[in-house]
Amino acid sequence: MPPHLLDGQPHQHIDRPRRVRQPGEPLRIGIGGPVGSGKTALVAALCRTLRDEISVAVLTNDIYTTEDADFLRRHAVLPDERITAVQTGGCPHTAIRDDITANLDAIEDLIATNDPLDLILVESGGDNLTATFSSGLIDVQIFVVDVAGGDKVPRKGGPGVTFSDLLVINKTDLAPMVGADLGVMARDAAAVREGRPTAMISLTEDPTATEVLAWVRSHLDHAH
């Protein structure tokens, strides 16, 4: 990954070798983004549609609670045994990037309990724009931001915004209320992402997240 600034100083993550999926292994999609951006709501939306098409499971990450997993169970988006949680006990990005052991163990347990699986969605704990998943943990990454932070968010960049396989700009229905210009956000995202796709969505207006769903299906088709 190219160098970037952290606290005003040059900083660089060392890319790990991308994991090699074995035949029959489920596709793993990481879903990251700041607190409140709508990650869990997006996971729920994807599960509600995909559960009737494929075998899917979810792994959430929280610092000290299982709140996101509990939300998904409470709304019955999947059977309970297909939802599990990792309590990271520290900075959220550590468990998805630096020491992924707990997540890998949880994935093994999900597969053992629910085999065969086609897809595992791995949701990170809420973090800032620098959070990225280890390529040893997931196959592709979605990064979710929302318009509440204003239209400057894509312009700020950061590894999540810049290098994720899909950037999701969520809650577009709120743009008029917060004075965010969606055109500016789309333009700035395109400028920093060098051809990587961006989806602008509102789960209020489109509860199935049609554009994100199509992207996920395309990767599932490619995986098989």
Give the count of beta carbons closer than 10 Å to the beta carbon of residue 56: 26
Q: How far apart are CA 224 and CA 211, in angstroms?
A: 20
Is 79 marked within a binding site?
A: no
Is 152 marked within a binding site?
A: no
DSSP string, 88-139: -SS-HHIIIII--HHHHHHHHHHHHHH-S-SEEEEEPPS--TT----TTT-S
Sign of the Cα torsion 198, 69, 112, 78 reads negative
Is 34 marked within a binding site?
A: yes
Is 39 marked within a binding site?
A: yes
Task: Spell out the residues 6+ positions from residue 138 whose beta carbon is closer than 8 angstroms to its own.
Answer: 28, 29, 30, 122
Q: Can you state the angle between helices 67-74 and 39-50, rounded to 10 degrees?
A: 40
Is 38 marked within a binding site?
A: yes
Is 35 marked within a binding site?
A: yes
On the CB side of 136, CA atoms within 13 Å amount to 15
Nearest Cα residue to 93 out of 132, 38, 121, 136: 132
What radius of gyration do the chain's Cα atoms show? 17
Contact 149, 38 (CB under 8 A): no
Summarize the annotated binding site as residue ranges: 33-40
Q: Which amino acids are annotated as binding site for GTP, given as ranges?
A: 33-40
